[in-house]
Amino acid sequence: MTPPAPDPGSRTGRADEQPFVIIIGEAVALGPLRRDLPYQRWFSAFETTRTVGTSRPMTVEEATVWYERHATNEREAHFALYERATWRPIGTTMWTWPHEGGSSAGSVKEGHYPPAASS
């Protein structure tokens, strides 16, 4: 079995090391957006964009603009979404602040998450 690829956002570069997270749930955790995450792949995959109302390929330039705009947005809280079992980044989600109407938005999640149960 091939070991996981190093995670450039972790403290030691190990893929299975917990990234910096702010909210930890049973199956997933949320942390700040990171420049190195695969936003272009996530936002270009039709199966992952079904919850955000857009389904078209995203260019590298658009992914960079998306990251820069959302990583510094003071009116919304955008998060990287991690699978707790592996600390693999699997997508993004966001919340608006309560004084702005306070809501969460659809997540972009990679692949088939949560994984299907084994039989």
**Residue 3 in tokens:** 């070991």
* Predicted pLDDT at 44: 86
pLDDT per residue as tens, the chain (119 positions)? 444 444 444 444 455 688 999 999 999 999 999 999 999 988 888 777 776 666 788 899 999 999 999 999 888 889 999 999 999 999 888 887 666 555 555 566 665 444 434 44
Please indicate, yes or no, whether the overall pTM of this predicted structure exceeds 0.85.
no
Residue ranges of domains in the chain: 23-106
Domain 23-106: which CATH class? alpha beta
Report the b/e string of 43-78 with b at 16+ CB within 10 A: bbbeebbeebeeeeebeeeebeebbeebeeeeeebb
94: three-class secondary structure by DSSP = strand
pLDDT at 22: 94
Residue 31 pLDDT: 96
What are 19's two structure tokens? 């990234």
Please compute Rg for the chain using Cα positions: 15
